[in-house]
Homo-oligomer: A and B are copies of this chain.
């Protein structure tokens, strides 16, 4: 399993990924899922990959080969075009591998997140589906996830606001979202790759890998757990009505005696 996420705000982008891959339950490996393509001062692309490692590697290899020749992503004039270029490579690998995979009942199931900026445009964040079509993050939905997405979502839903969340805060939310996922699902695991990109930087300066024993990561996870417990303790005690509100009675109860039981 995998968990990758991207956050886009007014201030830039945060991209984060775990590094655990597994083939079945008894073959677990470490493999990075974050790839960067940079033309300093012109273009920055950050790609996060989930799905069959064999297929995502193929896509990355083809993208890298083109990029090194000044083709493909190197020629993209906008982030939407960049997302389409990645989608084309996904379709190319699908054409090569999908029939053989499906014959043995494997799914062709690669997903990519693309974050980045091209000079003259705003930073943007896309999800590219296994079918090659792109979905863009918006101000209302300023983050995108791939892989094991559910455990890490509530903290993002409560925290990320396009206009307000600073890059520093967004980086913390990304790390907490990954930490929540790792705590609940062992098939998502460290090292964690984290990258923060500030608007108009057009190069990559803030990138860090956290290993399992990273003291900063451990400290943040411990402090977070303590802060959550404290926050729960400080919430008002839940009041129960004098007579138990059985489910079948309660709609009635709330309408007629709501004031007594809930305020």
Q: Which residues of chain A have a CB within 8 Å of any CB of chain B?
A: 19, 32, 34-36, 150-155, 157-159, 168-169, 171-173, 175-176, 180-181, 183-184, 191, 193-196, 204-209, 211, 214-216, 219-220, 223-225, 227-229, 231-241, 244-248, 250-251, 253-254, 261-263
A245 near B208 (CB under 8 angstroms)?
yes
Given the known interface contacts A169-B232, A219-B236, the answer about A183 and B207 at a Cβ–Cβ threshold of 8 Å is: no
Query: What separation, in Å, do the CA atoms of A228 and B211 have in the docked complex?
Result: 25
> What residues of chain B lie closer than 8 Å to A236, measured between beta carbons?
216, 219-220, 223
> What residues of chain B lie closer than 8 Å to A240, measured between beta carbons?
196, 205-208
Closest to A233 in B: B169
> What residues of chain B lie closer than 8 Å to A32, measured between beta carbons?
247-248
Name the one of B159, B184, B215, B246 contacting A228, with C-beta atoms under 8 angstroms. B159
9 contacts between A and B (CB under 8 A): A150-B184, A151-B151, A151-B154, A154-B154, A154-B180, A159-B232, A175-B238, A216-B236, A220-B235
Given the known interface contacts A151-B151, A155-B228, A231-B228, the answer about A250 and B216 at a Cβ–Cβ threshold of 8 Å is: no
A209 near B158 (CB under 8 angstroms)?
no
B194 near A238 (CB under 8 angstroms)?
yes
Query: What separation, in Å, do the CA atoms of A240 and B216 have in the docked complex?
Result: 11
Given the known interface contacts A168-B237, A216-B238, A263-B215, the answer about A209 and B151 at a Cβ–Cβ threshold of 8 Å is: no
A158 near B220 (CB under 8 angstroms)?
no
A215 near B262 (CB under 8 angstroms)?
yes
A209 near B169 (CB under 8 angstroms)?
no
Query: What separation, in Å, do the CA atoms of A204 and B242 have in the docked complex?
Result: 11
Q: Smallest distance from the beta carbon of A250 to chain B beta carbons, Å?
A: 3
B207 near A158 (CB under 8 angstroms)?
no
Closest to A175 in B: B238
> What residues of chain B lie closer than 8 Å to A223, measured between beta carbons?
235-236
> What residues of chain B lie closer than 8 Å to A158, measured between beta carbons?
183, 224-225, 228-229
A-B interface, 7 closest residue pairs, ranked by CB to CB distance from nearest:
A209-B250, A150-B150, A32-B247, A207-B244, A227-B231, A154-B180, A206-B240
Closest to A36 in B: B246
> What residues of chain B lie closer than 8 Å to A157, measured between beta carbons?
180, 183-184
